[in-house]
Structure 1
Amino acid sequence: MLSVNFQIEGCGAYCETYHEIRHYDTSTGRRVNDDDILTPAGKRDLARRMATERLSRFKKQLAEIAAITKAAKRKHLSKEVLGDLNERRELNLECAVREQGTLADQAALATALSYYTQQHANQALVLTSGRCSNHAMRALDDVGDVSITVPYARLRPHLTVYGKSLLLGEGAAKASSIYGQLLRGQLNGNIAITMKLRNESGDAIDGFYLYDKVGKPIPLAGKRERNELTLTDKLVEEKTAGASLKLVVTGSQVTGRWTGKKQFPIQLTVP
């Protein structure tokens, strides 16, 4: 497996640097996604471990702040010091409540893993979650980023057949999931198109497709029912309704029909 670490600067109200790590199967060039190597139960278990670790650290910080505050009051320290301690307490309390909510929400656990940075080193998966605080409050955040290390041996019960092949060297299984992959094919047999889909929350599907000659992504959204997808393209710049797509997923193949003013067959595959 080849891992590429991208250092990215993103700007909103503030500019910050963050990392995005992408993994590739060197035998095929295929990008490796969570769905390829982890079962749904495995993704929830890893998210639960992270949320539990984060909650533990926030609670520990709250206990330390309470002890420091008690001592500060005995010493009659300034209102500024006590105010700073109170802001830190409120931040950690808010973060702890957020993690408690994640632990109680199966849907949140199912999608949380996609927000963590994932590294593979020394036969282990290292997960890192970003700090709880926003940019303006980061000076009050004493917990910061949280990382946990899970050896591959402990991952075994939650690995797919392909995951065991890739990470443990067991067998020679190949990945077949279409999600997170670039799908290439044709509309009506002669119009080259590219598509990418995500399935990160229950049966909800989103993504985009584009006509290769044009190169402009057209957003897609819809739902999945077993191996059938019902999608609508979102041409937000146009007042007319977008086309609808009825697709069937068979392994790494996607076939179906595109329906707009006319109807055309559509066929795509993971290269």
Structure 2
Amino acid sequence: MGDLYGAMVKGLGYVVLAALAGAAPAAWSQVAIEELSAEHRTLGDHTEFRFPLVRGDTETARRINTWLQVSLLERFPGGPGETPFDAVWPREGEWTGVTYLDYQLVTNAMGFLSIVFNGEYTGAYPSAFSQSYQFETRTGRPLFLATLFTEDGVKELQGRVDAMQVHDIDAFLQAAQPNGLDQEEAKIQADLYRECRENVRTGLYDEREWQLRADALVMTRGCGFPHAVRALDDLGIEESRFDYDTLAPWLSEYGRCLLVEKRADCPPPQPGYQGVFMGEMDGRFPVTLVLGAWSGPAWYAYDKYKVPIRLHREASRDGALVLTRRDEGETTETFTLRWTGDGDLVGRWQRPGRPPLPVHLH
């Protein structure tokens, strides 16, 4: 989706539809959700795009909204454009771009928010995608399996799901399938499932879609057949459900506090190498940095302008995080940052030939 940045669709307004997701938030564990909505004029009749927006001017709301919009819309909240979808929509009269986008609020309770997006991207041909996001609602930080589980716990969970998928594929291949396929189609189907099984066994499917439900973690598994032969995927997408008590031995201290004990006083997880970081450059210029979003390794914006600037992540230099902006192959600015003990990022920003400016983000 990175090649879509900057695409503009003229003459389209957007509507903000105020609608609370679920019950009104009575505690810190829920957030209020509004809806961003717009119709694309050239994609067909009533092609409506829908996107959630966490209401409020808090760091929690800013982090969640920034992470989602940078990941899926390649924009910072409130940035330029006639609609929130300008950067990813196809240009007028063209088809390349995101041609469908909608969301479902999975869970908005017990200290975490879980949202799944379903969409379609059209390049050479349409390609459907589904992407889930989870957030801790006290800080707005994104949640990952590595946040909630111990290192061994993540391996155990993924191993269980891998074993389920291999079992399903083996059972399918061993059974006589009266599915109406001709000989060539049946061979293609069997070869694709064998390839999928081998990929699972060798760990190539180490990143799976997962969601936090009110009482269980659900992880999806599937083989992702190519678009041209998707109709041959009889197994499709299946779900593996694990209730939180079952997961307890694999969870980190933070994961148990949040998911099993359902406490409101869980110490925030230590920030990792992914997330939204806010602060100042030279103590004068408020900036927001996004690391590890779905749309690319790093983006930042000056809070005053909210124009997204794409950064490249370079090889670490003595443990420092190095991010560069490039223009026609030349580096035009560089962030060199280090992690502090409390999870902040401190360092410097510099343009070639100019003095560096200090940076402090949290």
**Corresponding residue of 1:197:** 291
Deviates more, 1:160-169 or 1:118-127: 118-127
Where does structure 1 lack aligned partners over 5 or more consecutive residues? 70-76, 103-107
**Corresponding residue of 2:326:** 235
2:178 aligned with 1:86: no
Residues 127 and 136 (structure 1), Cα distance of their counterparts in 2 relative to 1, 3 Å cut = same
- Which amino acid is 1:177 matched to? P
Work out the CA distance in 2 between the residues paired with 1:221 and 1:130.
Answer: 31
Q: Is the 8 A contact 2:133 2:142 kept in 1?
A: yes
Residues 161 and 223 (structure 1), Cα distance of their counterparts in 2 relative to 1, 3 Å cut = farther
Deviates more, 1:183-192 or 1:39-48: 39-48
Work out the CA distance in 2 between the residues paired with 1:7 and 1:199.
Answer: 17
Q: CA deviation at 1:139?
A: 1.3
- Which amino acid is 1:159 matched to? L
SS of 2:347 mapped into structure 1: strand
- Which amino acid is 2:288 matched to? T
Q: Give 1:96-115 correspondences, 5 Å limit.
A: 96-102=197-203, 108=204, 112-113=206-207
Q: Give 1:1-271 correspondences, 5 Å limit.
A: 1-64=112-175, 67=176, 81-102=182-203, 108=204, 112-113=206-207, 116-169=208-261, 172-198=266-292, 206-214=297-305, 215-223=307-315, 228-237=319-328, 239-240=330-331, 242-261=333-352, 262-269=355-362
Aligned-residue CA RMSD in angstroms?
3.1
Q: CA deviation at 1:165?
A: 1.3
Residues 247 and 161 (structure 1), Cα distance of their counterparts in 2 relative to 1, 3 Å cut = same
Work out the CA distance in 1 between the residues paired with 2:127 and 2:331.
Answer: 38
Taking structure 1 as the reference length, the TM-score comes to 0.77
Q: CA deviation at 1:233?
A: 0.9
The count of residues paired between Structure 1 and Structure 2 equals 245
Larger helix proportion, structure 1 or 2? 1
SS of 1:31 mapped into structure 2: coil
Q: Is the 8 A contact 1:182 1:196 kept in 2?
A: yes
Taking structure 2 as the reference length, the TM-score comes to 0.59
Work out the CA distance in 1 between the residues paired with 2:202 and 2:185.
Answer: 26
Where does structure 2 lack aligned partners over 5 or more consecutive residues? 1-111
Residues 31 and 248 (structure 1), Cα distance of their counterparts in 2 relative to 1, 3 Å cut = closer
Q: Is the 8 A contact 1:179 1:199 kept in 2?
A: no
